[in-house]
Each structure stands twice: as C-alpha cells, then as structure tokens.
Chain A
Amino acid sequence: MKATRVFQLTALALVVVAAVQVGWWLYDQHAYTVEKVLAARGAYREQTAAAQALLDAGVSPQRVGQLLPAIVVRDGRAALAPQVEQTLTSEERHRYNQYAWEGSFFLLALALCIAVIARALRAETRVREEQESFLALVSHQFKTPLASLQLSLETLALRTPPPQTARTLIERMLADLARMELMVTQILESARLERGRVELRPEAVPLAAAVARVLAPLEERARQERIVLSSDIAAALCVQSDPLALDMVLRNVLENALAAVQAAGGGRIEVQARAANGEVQLSVRDTGVGFAPADGARLFTRFTRLHGSGGGHYGTGLGLFIVRRMMELAHGRVSAHSDGVGQGARVELAWPEASAASAALQGSTT
C-alpha cells in the first residue's frame, strides 16, 4: 500500500517535471525561431542597403542582381525579392505551427497523466480515510458494551451481591454479549453490501405474510412494554423482492419502531400498505420518541443513533443503513419522517409491485 503510494507520487512528480520541461522547450524553441528570423531579416536589410549603395554608385541593376540574388531592383530602388520574403514568412509560420501542435499534444498528454494519477491518489486517500473512520467507529461502538460487560464482571468479582442482584448482572452481561453479536452480524452484512457482494433473487412475495412473520416474535416484547402492534395489509398485495432481504428490511424497521416506542414508555405501532403507480407502499407509524425533521436522511447513514438508549434500546447504528442499501438493491425506496422529538415517526418503504398470481405460482412450485 505504502510502496504503491510512493510509486504514484514519484510518477506524478516525474510527469509534472516532464510537463515543465516541455513548457520550457516550447519557450526556448519559440525564442530561438524569433531570434533566427530577426537575424535573417537583419541580414537581408543589410543586403538591401548594400544593393542600394551599389545602385547609387552607378552599378547596373543587372550586376547588382548577380551579386545579390535575394535583391530585386524596381525603379532604381533596391528591395528584398518577394519570393524570399514569402519563403521567410512561410518558414516562420511553419516553425510556429510545428511548436504549437507538438507542444500542445505533449502538454495535453502530460496533463491527462497528471489528472489520472491525481485522481487515483485522491480516490486512494478517500478509501483510506473511510476505512480508518469505519474502524474508529466500529471500535467505539464495541467499547460501550465491552465496558458494561467488564463493569458487571468486576462488580461480581469485587462484591458479593445477593442472588437477585447477581441475576440482574448476569442478564445485563448476556444482553451486552447479544448486542455485540448483533453488531458483528450487522457489520459483516453492511461490509458485504458496501462491496456489492450481495446477490438478490427477486420474486413475488406476499407482503402481509412477510410482515406477520416478522411481527410474531415481537408481540410478546411489545405486550411487556405496553406497545400495541397493528397491521392492516391486504392479503393480495405482493412485492417484487428477495424474500430474505425483505425479511431483513422489515425486521430492522419494526425493531427500530419498537425501540423508539419503548423509549417513550409505550404507545402504538401501525403498519399499513397500499398499491399505487406500479409499486407497493408500506408505512410504519409509531408514537415513539421521534427525531428532528432535519435528521430524516441522516438516520440512514452508518452509526447514526439520534436518541439515546434511555429506554433500553441497544441500537448499533447499522440497522437503517442496511435497510437503505437493501432497498436500493431491490430497486425500492425508503424514507423516514417525524414532526420532531417526542412526536413519533413514520418510515415509508416502496417496492415494485408483483402480481398475486405469480406469487401463487412460485408458492406452488416450491
């Protein structure tokens, strides 16, 4: 990596030096031509003056023409022969054209090289910075559950807590471990998504059944946290999506809604869907903690956690990033809206619509 960078920087320096040399060569050649042309014109002016002196001394024009072939005599006055003047001018122009074309070509080629190398260097720097920032963020995300785990263990080691407290500490540690495990899974998943190594196999999937599958395991937790879950989706609505990707998207969005409502001390989550303009639109509304309207887009970037985990929410900051990338790969859309902190939130998802008939066909063939 370092050797490549040194090589790139050396190449860039060489190309820049070459460009400067070509520029200098152009300037030098131009100055040389100007000097030569001036010298030639000076010599011809001297010949013309000599011819005139001969004519004034009574030498015949024929004799002057023999002695100085570049000079013509018209009406007793000596002048440079038109063909000589023309040759001189044309030679001058030829030289200038040659330098202009050759110089431009070389300079253009070198400028292109500089642009290509500089672009590669910039891209490499950006990738390195992204990697470093990703690593810093990942390590930061891990340190909090690690600190909590270490604190619980050291509390057990330092004190002799009663069984009930010990159980609480053990449950806390198990939750910290589960959180780290989820983070590892999500980090690997997001890395695969970033590298484009996820191959989706879209097919017609009934949305109501997919939502019901995700909601079922969440119902017990919702009941405990005083959260009312409701889903109103027509059984015939089908989306064109990879079933596993759809499951992951729904799970992340619904888990997020659950955490937001849990942080608000309970409330409602409503899931609704409708078909419109060739797509199926799903809306997940919650009465949770919400967020500032301007933060809607930021939610889908990596490691963004807008509100704290005051309600026991252990977000990794990767869930909605995965949702966005999955939806992009599925040719769908996702957006999040809220009227402000404490005002609840709404996540809108849209997939290409698939016909129920093709879903039934797929169901019968599997």
Chain B
Amino acid sequence: MSPPGAPHVLVVEDDPHLAAGVMENLRAEGYQVSTAADGAQALGWLSGHACELIVLDVMLPGMDGFSVCRALREQGNTTPVLFLTARGDPADRVRGLEAGGDDYLAKPFHLQEFLLRVRAIVRRWDWYRSASATAATAVLRFGGNEVDFRAFRARAWNGEAQELTEKEAMILKVLAEHAGEIVSREDLLERVWGYDVFPSTRTVDNFILRLRKRFEQDPANPRHFLTVWGVGYRFLGEGEP
C-alpha cells in the first residue's frame, strides 16, 4: 500500500503483462499507480484526476501515445510524460519529444533505469512545483514582463499574452533562482531534462532563443538572457544597463 501523499503515476499500456509489471514495481517503490489500457481511457481518467507522471506506451490501439500527449498539451495539461516504445530510433525519439514528451525509453528496458528515470522526472516536477508554491515565487517580474509559473502563462513587455511550455518555464525558473549568476548549459540540461534525452546542449541554446523572442525588447541585443561565451547563460532581472 502506497503512503498517502505519495506521487501518483498513470501507466498507459495495452499489454496487460507489461502494465502489471510496471505497476507492481512502481507500487513497490512507493508510488500510487493507476492504469489505462488505451488513449481514450487515459484521457478520460486525466479529465477527472491529476498525477505527477504519465508513463505512456506509443503503440496503443486506436489513438497512439503521441496523439494522446499532443491532446493533453493542447488541453493545457503539463503533467510530465515518459514514453515507452518498441521503436528506439532517433527519429521516433524526436517525434515523442516534439509531441510534448519529457523522456523516452525503448522496450525492452532495464527496470532500474526505468525507475531511475521515473524518480528523476518526479523529482524535477516536485522541485518546480515547490519552487513556485508561494505567491512570491509563483510570479516573476522583469523588464516589464510578468511570468506566472503555476499557470504557465506570461504577459510580455508589449502586453502580449504568452503561453509557456513546461520546459521554457522550468529553464526560466532555474535562471531566475540564480539571477546574476552564470548557469552552464550542462546545469540547465541536468536541472530541466535530467538525462541524455537530447543529444547536445544546442537544445538549451534554442530554448534561450525562444525566451529572448518572448521577453526581450530587442532579441538580438538581449538585456535579460545574456550569453556567457563558452560557459552558459546569466539572467538579469533588472536588465543590463
């Protein structure tokens, strides 16, 4: 029996043996677990419940896992998704991440690696939520921009409303927590992704570019998201004079 308040994981897997195996192991690790055998069942469950992680099989009958994840993100559900799939090629991995997934594990997988990844995602999610729990930490104001970390929404300096992705919000959170300090690309990868999900630190650069486009008055000459060449980035709340 899982302790009350334990992180809740939804396992969406059509193979009953695999679903049972995953469920039993997650329960043994102290998680609360619910299962769904297909995408429609999962979306139905998620419309009435919340959880800390969704373990989502890609090849599901009817609606595939990528479509389920896309549908969730379109509904504004930012619960982390760990894809389980029989296909392990890089193109498929990229598809999963583009669909809004957080991590990707190819079948057959090692139990301990799976549990480690689950723990890492839940820990990151916990950190983000606790770091955005109080009124003071839930909202970040800089250079005329206002970011609501809990709602994943922002209002830019020009009054434009912005919807943030989970990763954008997390990167911004890490940078804001270390305002004025240099944060390396590797640190950002570790804090936000936690794993070798992406092949290179270039991914971080792309996310920073996106944040500049959203929040800098002149993205080509940033005042808040500064590049420290060869190291990483520095966030300045007040803007560079």
Chain A interface (Cβ < 8 Å from any Cβ of B)? 136, 139-140, 143-152, 154-155, 158-159, 165, 172, 175-176, 305-312
Contact = CB atoms under 8 A, between A and B. Distances in A.
B22 interface: yes
Contacts of A150: 108-111
A147 B107 contact: yes
Nearest to A165: B24
B61 A151 contact: no
Nearest to B89: A136
B60 interface: yes
Given A148-B15, A308-B37, A143 B108 contact: yes
B38 A151 contact: no
B14 A147 contact: no
A154 B112 contact: yes
A359 B116 CA distance: 65
Given A154-B110, A158-B111, A308-B38, 9 more contacts: A143-B86, A146-B107, A146-B108, A147-B84, A147-B108, A151-B108, A151-B111, A176-B17, A306-B62
Interface of B: 14-18, 20-22, 24-25, 28, 37-38, 59-62, 84, 86-87, 107-112
A203 B59 CA distance: 42
Contacts of A149: 108
A151 B22 contact: yes
B16 A312 contact: yes
Contact of B59 (A139, A140, A175): A140
Contacts of A143: 86, 107-108
A136 B88 CA distance: 11
List the 8 closest A-B pairs by CB distance, nearest first. Answer: A308-B14, A147-B108, A143-B86, A147-B107, A154-B111, A151-B21, A310-B37, A148-B17
Contacts of B16: 309-312
Contacts of B20: 172
A150 B59 CA distance: 19
Contact of A140 (B25, B84, B87, B109): B87
A279 to B, nearest CB: 34
A159 B15 CA distance: 22
Nearest to B59: A140
A144 B107 contact: yes
A159 B16 CA distance: 21
A143 B16 CA distance: 14
Given A152-B21, A155-B25, A309 B14 contact: yes
Contact of B112 (A140, A145, A158, A309): A158
A176 B17 CA distance: 8
A309 B38 CA distance: 10
Contacts of A147: 18, 84, 86, 107-109
Contacts of A148: 15, 17-18, 21
Which one of A147, A151, A305 has the highest number of Cβ atoms from chain B below 10 Å of its Cβ?
Answer: A147
Nearest to A176: B17
Contacts of A305: 61
Contact of B15 (A144, A154, A307): A144
Contacts of B112: 154, 158
A92 B16 CA distance: 84
22 contacts: A140-B87, A143-B86, A146-B107, A146-B108, A148-B15, A148-B17, A148-B18, A150-B108, A151-B22, A154-B112, A155-B21, A155-B24, A159-B28, A165-B24, A172-B20, A176-B17, A305-B61, A308-B60, A309-B16, A310-B38, A311-B16, A312-B16
Contact of B86 (A140, A155, A307): A140
A144 B86 contact: yes
Contacts of B108: 143, 146-147, 149-151
Nearest to A306: B61
A307 B22 contact: no
Contacts of A146: 107-108
B170 to A, nearest CB: 30
Contacts of A139: 86
A155 B87 CA distance: 23
Which one of B22, B60, B86, B112 has the highest number of Cβ atoms from chain A below 10 Å of its Cβ?
Answer: B86
A312 B18 CA distance: 11
A332 to B, nearest CB: 29
Contact of A308 (B22, B61, B84, B87): B61
A144 B85 CA distance: 9
Given A140-B87, A155-B25, A307-B61, A172 B107 contact: no
Nearest to B108: A147
A151 B37 CA distance: 18
A309 B110 contact: no
Contacts of B60: 308
A151 B14 contact: no
Contacts of B59: 140
Contacts of A172: 17, 20-21
A140 B14 CA distance: 14
Contacts of A309: 14-16, 37
A35 to B, nearest CB: 60
B17 A175 contact: yes
B85 to A, nearest CB: 9
Nearest to A312: B16
A140 B92 CA distance: 13
A307 B18 CA distance: 16
Which one of B17, B37, B86, B108 has the highest number of Cβ atoms from chain A below 10 Å of its Cβ?
Answer: B17
A157 to B, nearest CB: 8
A269 B16 CA distance: 23
A144 B18 contact: yes
